[in-house]
Amino acid sequence: MKREFVPDRLNVAEFAQAGGRLSGDQPLASFERLAAEAVESTDGLQVEWAAQGEERRDAGGRSEPWMHLEASAELPLTCQRCLTPVRTRLEADRWFRFVADEETAAALDEELEEDVLVASRDFDLLGLVEDELLMELPITPRHDVCPQDVPLSAQDPDFDSAEKERANPFAALAKLRSGKPE
């Protein structure tokens, strides 16, 4: 009998034991916390994710559920250089190890590199997808080339100096002032 797994109420131990796989391609709008970060409409934007369960043995030979999660989305954020929206790609790719309770998770989280979560029979996998993508939000989203810079493409030899002058408006101001008669 093939088990059916439900992403928002996932039986983690069974999913790992069965080597289960779940994936989805869902509207970004259905991930409310993520959509709240968008500075433009999220119409047509999707979150893609895939989870793979795996059963491993711990040091004592007991079975332990693990899960590999991959998730990606494109989110319109504000470019910190030109302050217009920039489509920013978020990608998460991580292994999780599941343990029996919060105490064990907290103790292991400190000593191990991998992410430790508490196993449950109704684990919210979609919530984890959203958490992981939220963690990938860049602190300073930027266009590779800002739309205002179209005439000053990267091939333009003046591009770098134009960039520097913008970066330091006070230097430009000082230059103007020094040119003025007292």
Structure tokens at 102: 């919060």
Smallest gap from residue 168 Cβ to Zn ion (A): 18
By CB under 5 A, residue 50 contacts Zn ion: no
Cβ atoms of residues 5 and 20 within 8 Å: yes
User: What's the min distance (Å) between Cβ of 87 and Zn ion?
Assistant: 11
Instruction: Return d(Cα 99, Cα 97) in angstroms, integer.
Output: 7
> Using alpha carbons only, what angle is made at residue 153 by residues 149 and 158, rounded to the nearest 5 degrees?
95
Residue from the set 124, 143, 152, 159 that interacts with Zn ion by CB under 5 A: 143
Pairing of strands 85-99, 115-118: parallel
Nearer to Zn ion, 122 or 163 (CB): 163
Q: How far is CA 48 from CA 23, 30, 53, 96, 176, in A?
A: 8, 12, 17, 18, 52
CB of 44 to Zn ion, least distance (A): 21
**Binders in 70-99 for Zn ion, by CB under 5 A:** 79, 81-82
CB of 31 to Zn ion, least distance (A): 25
Q: Bridge partners of 11?
A: none
Instruction: Using the minimum distance from each CB to Zn ion, give the nearer residue, 108 or 146.
Output: 146
Q: How many residues bind Zn ion (CB under 5 A)?
A: 5
Name which of 132 and 149 has its Cβ closer to Zn ion: 149
Interaction between residue 146 and Zn ion (CB under 5 A): yes
**Nearer CB in complex with Zn ion: 71/75:** 75
Nearest-CA neighbor of 97 among 88, 107, 87?
107
CB 37 within 8 A of CB 74: no
Residue whose entry in the numeric block shows the structure tokens 């080597």: 19
Give the nearest distance from C-beta 151 to Zn ion in angstroms: 14
According to the binding rule CB under 5 A, does residue 68 interact with Zn ion?
no
Residues that bind Zn ion (CB under 5 A): 79, 81-82, 143, 146
